[in-house]
């Protein structure tokens, strides 16, 4: 294995009773790459994400994370929280913020999950706890500034406008200091201006932080602008892969997805 | 001064309100320091003091304070761009700040009055006990100038704290020498000393001037009194802590802004001060009947509710077998007192069996939690319910272990016998209720502080995250099971401590004290008060505890003790209809209830994450 892969997915099959969500999916995600997964509704994109993060356990196949750098790297069989600890962060298609916490606290939850403070330290506010709390404050502020939400610091998450919610979710995921970030339709339901901001943001995450990004998105302009390579899923199977130009020219893809109805982001955005 | 510019009104509604409250507090001070009242016409004194000369002095004081406050606010908000917009850091500014901080804490005065009123009502409606203070006497006692001086002094201390904090935030208003570590530590120690003088509840004739005779009396008693030096040491430690805490603090303007939300505001610190004061002082005004009730019912309720609040309120787990841990604590203490049919290897003083009880209850919590906390809401409730019943049935049926339904033997006393401190609390002896109450308080206050900081920490936030959305929390690396077991264990050990404390007072344990109804009652305390809010559950416990005693002794409709569950149930239903978030909800929890109403997420007590589609 010469290539430095973040995700090495081999022949993964995921079934729910009679429904096959993923059918013999093989996918390679190189380190530092912005990789996109596209496909019509129900193609199995979110199922793929859930399999990569330990939420779903595929019946067949292997998923290796970062195998070139660490020894035992199998994702399948691990609990979601252990997977997250490995350095895999994600956002959700329907945003799942902690609505009763403030913007700031939402990010802190992510930053703090890796800290050592336990209940005793937290009760007594021992020096280490205070030290870690200061560190997480600083980090959370940095991230708020990074996604441009510093003016929303004390806003409860549920009163944020839609575009801000999406960005907050990204910041929260970044708080865990991941090696790879999985974004599930981050631009769904946002307006053109917000889409442009989001494009810049994702590019910055990829280029500046060196975090690999795996992106599900329906908006083709956004995908083509960002992704270095694409995988196309249909009915749970990979039907094509390649650079944006190759995909655009691929007749199978045009048939299944691009050509007929066209990308319909609005349909799935809720 | 262009004409086109929209005219700025110099005084808005807030200014007027501020000025009015300042004037009102001036008047209040005038009444407070006026002549003492007399039992025949309690309002006479107030009437008199409003006509004496010094009322004008206080009014003037109020007006000055108002002007300063308004001015400061205008400057701070940048509404007044004068040459004085940048306040000079002088002693004058310092005193300006001080006066302003004093006038704006009128909520404190309001709260204090509300507490006193509530106490008066509680006492008034209690049963008649010979020797009990009548309402009128109570009023006069409260109207005693010294009491007011006392309140005023506390107010002053609280304001100093507020001031220090606000000064701190803006740097260096204080003159240089005041900022030196040595000065600050000494000042803090002196504060502790003053507090001992004011609030020390163990002084035999507290705060009577004859005791602390200024005119050549003996101050040695006060000075040789242990609590005096304990308080002073507390002050000293606080000072050291403050000084050390600052050393490694990089003051980041943004961070201070961020912290504003997390750290309780100055006003709530003041409220805590008043609450503490009321907790120390109020029971002394009550009749022996209420003194006992306050320990036996309200105090233990508070204790249990605070523990259950961790489980139900913070972590969002529905625990219906909470009383089991209470029973475990009580029986551990009984065992080590030698009050059970099986004898322990050595007899322990209840003080020493507390750590054992914590350990045993915590272990039981973890053992129960590890398998069951993987279950979802309703199943968890059923399993814990079963566990509570198992413990109850065991206590009932294991005759030769627990003494069975006939009750245990007599449980030992709390006693300390070290140099300077000699204490022995016998639950059955008369007249020791107040001592028990202060013992409870000595446990309660640290626990309140610990749990508050727990809730404001990483752990508290993780609990909130799990409660709201376990899937999202897991995606951030939070191990839900670990945090749930943690909540369970902390709740269980709190309940265990409550078990030890109340078992000493009860003297003999009967399994019927640990029936399912106790679990349900405590749950109602938490729900009624406001899940997740420590202040709320304390209020809930006090209100319901008072209600039960009240019902018991005003048997207007042939009330039996067992009827109380009917009233509690009715109260719960009313709460659910009119105020589902409880009477004093936590900020976070109130938010969840609001979200649930508008269809966002769930406010389910059992903390099921929204069954939202992952896809
Ligand atoms: N938890 C589940 N239980 C049953 N079927 C599921 C579950 N998750 C996904 N599926 C099925 O898998 C298929 C792929 O869904 P999904 O991954 O959400 O598609 P996409 O995200 O590409 O729109 C769908 O047919 C869906 O019904
Ligand atoms: Mg999807």
B88-99 tens-digit pLDDT: 445 555 555 544
Q: Is B450 inside a domain boundary?
A: yes
A-proximal residues of B, 409-448, CB under 8 Å: none
User: Based on the domain organization, do B76 and B96 belong to the same domain?
Assistant: no
User: Based on the domain organization, do B397 and B316 belong to the same domain?
Assistant: yes
Cβ-nearest to A98 among B460, B465, B613: B465
d(CA A243, CA B317): 49
User: Based on the domain organization, do B236 and B362 belong to the same domain?
Assistant: no
User: Based on the domain organization, do B404 and B378 belong to the same domain?
Assistant: yes
Chain A residues whose beta carbon lies within 8 Å of the beta carbon of residue B474: 55, 79-81, 84
Contact state of A79 with B252 under an 8 Å Cβ cutoff? no
Interface TM-score (ipTM) > 0.90: yes
User: Based on the domain organization, do B445 and B378 belong to the same domain?
Assistant: yes
User: Based on the domain organization, do B63 and B115 belong to the same domain?
Assistant: no
Chain A residues whose beta carbon lies within 8 Å of the beta carbon of residue B612: 94, 96
Q: Tell whether B224 lies on the interface with A, counting CB pairs under 8 A.
A: no
Chain B residues whose beta carbon lies within 8 Å of the beta carbon of residue A104: 258, 261
Q: Is B438 inside a domain boundary?
A: yes
pLDDT mean over B84-113: 48
User: By alpha-carbon position, which residue is closest to atom 8 of ligand 1?
Assistant: A47
User: What tokens were used for B344?
Assistant: 């322990």
Residue of A109, A138, A165 to mutate for B, most B C-beta atoms under 10 A: A109
Boundary of a domain, candidates B48, B68, B89: B89
Reported confidence tier of residue B274, pLDDT bands at 50, 70, 90: low
Q: Is B255 inside a domain boundary?
A: no
pTM over 0.80: no
pLDDT in the model for residue B45: 62
CA angle B547, B550, B556 (to 5 degrees): 120
Boundary of a domain, candidates B496, B517, B538: B517
pLDDT in the model for residue A189: 84
pLDDT in the model for residue A50: 95
Reported confidence tier of residue B29, pLDDT bands at 50, 70, 90: low
pLDDT tens digits for range B498-537:
999 999 888 889 999 999 989 999 999 999 999 889 989 9
Q: Is B56 inside a domain boundary?
A: yes
- C-beta separation of B26 from B59 below 8 A: yes
User: Based on the domain organization, do B377 and B403 belong to the same domain?
Assistant: yes
* Domain carrying residue B39: 11-89
Gap from CA of A45 to ligand 2 centroid (Å): 6
User: By alpha-carbon position, which residue is closest to atom 6 of ligand 1?
Assistant: A16
User: Based on the domain organization, do B217 and B353 belong to the same domain?
Assistant: no
| Length of chain A (residues) | 270
Boundary of a domain, candidates B89, B110, B131: B89
List Cα–Cα distances, B489 to A116, B337, B368, in angstroms. 19, 25, 9
Gap from CA of A46 to ligand 1 centroid (Å): 7
User: Based on the domain organization, do B23 and B46 belong to the same domain?
Assistant: yes
Q: Is B256 inside a domain boundary?
A: no
d(CA A97, CA A81): 16
User: By alpha-carbon position, which residue is closest to atom 12 of ligand 1?
Assistant: A21
User: What tokens were used for A250?
Assistant: 């691929």
Distance to chain A for B563, nearest Cα, Å: 38
Q: Is B557 inside a domain boundary?
A: no
Residue B612 pLDDT exceeds 50? no
The total domain count for chain B is 3
Contact state of B476 with A176 under an 8 Å Cβ cutoff? yes
User: Based on the domain organization, do B196 and B340 belong to the same domain?
Assistant: no
Which residue(s) pair with A63 in the sheet? Answer: A9
**Which mutation among A13, A19, A36, A216 tests ligand 1's pocket best, with the greatest number of atoms within 8 A of CB?**
A19
Q: Is B141 inside a domain boundary?
A: yes
Q: Taking CB atoms and a 6 Å cutoff, what residues make up the pocket around ligand 1?
A: A 16, 19, 21, 39, 41-47; B 615
The residues, any chain, with a CB within 8 Å of residue B345's CB and separated by 6 or more, are none
How many CA atoms are closer than 13 Å to the CA of B196, on its beta-carbon side?
23
Distance to chain A for B206, nearest Cα, Å: 32
- C-beta separation of B487 from B311 below 8 A: yes
Nearest CA in chain A to B453: A123
pLDDT tens digits for range B386-443:
999 999 999 999 888 888 888 888 887 777 666 555 667 766 666 677 778 888 888 9
A-proximal residues of B, 446-505, CB under 8 Å: 450-451, 453-454, 457-462, 464-465, 468-469, 471-480, 486, 490
pLDDT tens digits for range A153-210:
878 888 888 889 999 999 999 999 999 999 999 998 889 999 999 999 999 998 888 8
Walk across the sheet containing A34-38 and list its strands: A88-90, A180-184, A212-216, A34-38, A229-234, A237-242
- Choice between B293 and A193, residue whose per-residue pLDDT is larger: A193
Q: Is B460 inside a domain boundary?
A: yes
Distance to chain B for A270, nearest Cα, Å: 10
User: Based on the domain organization, do B111 and B225 belong to the same domain?
Assistant: yes
A-proximal residues of B, 550-609, CB under 8 Å: 588-589, 591-592, 595, 600-601
Closest-CA residue to B383 (of B297, B321, B448, B447): B321
Gap from CA of A40 to ligand 1 centroid (Å): 12
pLDDT mean over B157-178: 50
pLDDT mean over B566-580: 84
Which residue(s) pair with A90 in the sheet? Answer: A182
Judged by DSSP in three states, A230 sits in strand
Contact state of A122 with B461 under an 8 Å Cβ cutoff? no
User: Based on the domain organization, do B301 and B184 belong to the same domain?
Assistant: no
Reported confidence tier of residue B183, pLDDT bands at 50, 70, 90: confident
A44 CA: nearest ligand 1 atom: 17
List Cα–Cα distances, A15 to A18, A62, A225, A236, in angstroms. 7, 15, 33, 10
């Amino acid at each position: 294995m010469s290539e430095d892969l973040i995700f090495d997915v081999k022949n993964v099959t995921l079934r729910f009773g009679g429904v096959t969500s993923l059918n013999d999916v093989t996918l390679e995600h190189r380190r530092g790459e912005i990789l996109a997964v596209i496909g019509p509704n129900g193609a199995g994109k979110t199922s793929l994400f859930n399999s990569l993060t330990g939420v779903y356990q595929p019946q067949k196949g292997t998923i290796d994370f970062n195998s070139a750098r660490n020894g035992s790297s199998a994702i399948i069989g691990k609990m979601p929280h252990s997977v997250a600890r490995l350095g895999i962060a994600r956002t959700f298609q329907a945003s799942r913020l902690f609505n009763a916490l403030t913007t700031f606290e939402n990010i802190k939850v992510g930053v703090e999950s890796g800290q050592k403070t336990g209940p005793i330290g937290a009760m007594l506010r021992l020096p280490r706890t205070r030290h870690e709390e200061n560190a997480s404050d600083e980090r959370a502020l940095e991230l708020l500034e990074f996604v441009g939400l510093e003016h929303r610091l004390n806003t409860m998450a549920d009163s944020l406008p839609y575009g801000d919610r999406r960005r907050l979710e990204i910041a929260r995921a970044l708080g865990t200091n991941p090696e790879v970030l999985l974004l599930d339709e981050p631009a769904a339901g946002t307006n053109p201006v917000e889409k442009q901001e989001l494009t810049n943001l994702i590019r910055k995450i990829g280029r500046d932080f060196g975090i690999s990004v795996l992106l599900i998105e329906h908006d083709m302009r956004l995908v083509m602008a960002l992704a270095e390579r694409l995988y196309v899923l249909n009915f749970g199977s990979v039907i094509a892969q390649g650079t944006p130009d190759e995909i655009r020219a691929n007749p199978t893809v045009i048939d299944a997805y691009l050509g007929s109805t066209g990308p319909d982001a609005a349909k799935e955005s809720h | 001064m262009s004409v086109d510019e929209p005219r700025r009104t110099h005084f808005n509604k807030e200014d007027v309100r501020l000025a009015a409250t300042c004037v009102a507090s001036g008047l209040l001070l005038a009444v407070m320091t006026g002549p003492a009242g007399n039992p025949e016409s309690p309002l006479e004194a107030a009437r008199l003091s409003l006509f004496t000369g010094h009322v004008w002095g206080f009014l003037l004081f109020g007006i000055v304070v108002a002007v300063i406050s308004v001015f400061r606010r205008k400057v701070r908000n940048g509404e007044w761009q004068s040459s004085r917009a940048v306040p000079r850091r002088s002693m004058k500014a310092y005193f300006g700040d001080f006066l302003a901080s004093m006038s704006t804490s009128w909520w404190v005065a309001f709260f204090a009055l509300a507490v006193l009123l509530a106490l008066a009502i509680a006492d008034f409606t209690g049963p008649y006990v010979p020797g009990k203070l009548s309402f009128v006497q109570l009023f006069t006692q409260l109207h005693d100038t010294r009491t007011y001086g006392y309140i005023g002094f506390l107010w002053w201390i609280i304001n100093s704290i507020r001031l220090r904090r606000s000064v701190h935030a803006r740097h260096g208003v204080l003159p240089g020498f005041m900022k030196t570590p040595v000065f600050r530590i000494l000042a803090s120690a002196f504060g502790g000393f003053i507090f001992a003088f004011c609030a020390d509840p163990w002084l035999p004739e507290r705060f009577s001037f004859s005791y602390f005779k200024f005119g050549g009396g003996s101050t040695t008693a006060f000075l040789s009194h242990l609590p005096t030096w304990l308080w002073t040491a507390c002050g000293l430690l606080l000072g050291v802590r403050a000084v050390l805490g600052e050393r490694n603090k990089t003051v980041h303007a943004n961070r201070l802004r961020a912290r504003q939300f997390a750290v309780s505001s100055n006003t709530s610190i003041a409220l805590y001060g008043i609450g503490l004061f009321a907790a120390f002082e109020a029971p002394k005004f009550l009749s022996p009947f209420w003194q006992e009730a306050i320990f036996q019912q309200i105090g233990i309720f508070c204790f249990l509710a605070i523990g259950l609040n961790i489980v139900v309120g913070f972590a969002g787990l529905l625990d219906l077998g909470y009383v089991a841990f209470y029973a475990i604590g009580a029986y551990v203490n009984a065992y080590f007192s030698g009050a059970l049919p099986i004898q322990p290897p050595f007899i322990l003083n209840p003080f020493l069996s507390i750590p054992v009880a914590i350990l045993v209850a915590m272990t039981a919590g973890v053992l129960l939690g590890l398998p069951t906390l993987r279950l979802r809401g309703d199943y968890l409730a059923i399993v814990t319910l079963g566990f509570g019943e198992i413990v109850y049935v065991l206590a009932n049926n294991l005759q030769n272990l627990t003494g069975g339904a006939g009750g245990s033997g007599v449980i030992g006393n709390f006693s300390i016998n070290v140099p300077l401190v000699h204490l022995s609390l016998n639950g059955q002896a008369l007249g020791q209720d107040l001592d028990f109450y202060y013992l409870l308080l000595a446990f309660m206050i640290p626990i309140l502080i610990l749990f508050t900081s727990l809730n404001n920490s990483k752990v508290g936030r993780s609990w909130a995250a799990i409660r709201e959305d376990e899937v999202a929390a897991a995606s951030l690396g939070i191990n839900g099971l670990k945090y749930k077991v943690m909540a369970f264990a902390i709740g269980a050990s709190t309940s265990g401590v409550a078990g030890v404390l109340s078992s000493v007072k009860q003297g003999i344990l009967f399994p019927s004290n640990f029936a399912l109804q106790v679990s349900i009652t405590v749950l109602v305390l938490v729900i009624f008060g406001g899940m997740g809010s420590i202040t709320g559950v304390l209020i809930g416990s006090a209100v319901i505890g008072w209600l039960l005693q009240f019902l018991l002794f005003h048997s207007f409709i042939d009330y039996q003790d067992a009827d109380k569950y009917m009233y509690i149930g009715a109260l719960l239903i009313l709460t659910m209809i009119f105020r589902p978030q409880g009477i004093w909800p936590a900020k976070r929890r109130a938010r969840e209830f609001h979200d649930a109403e508008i269809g966002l997420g769930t406010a389910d007590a059992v903390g099921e994450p929204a069954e939202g589609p992952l896809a």
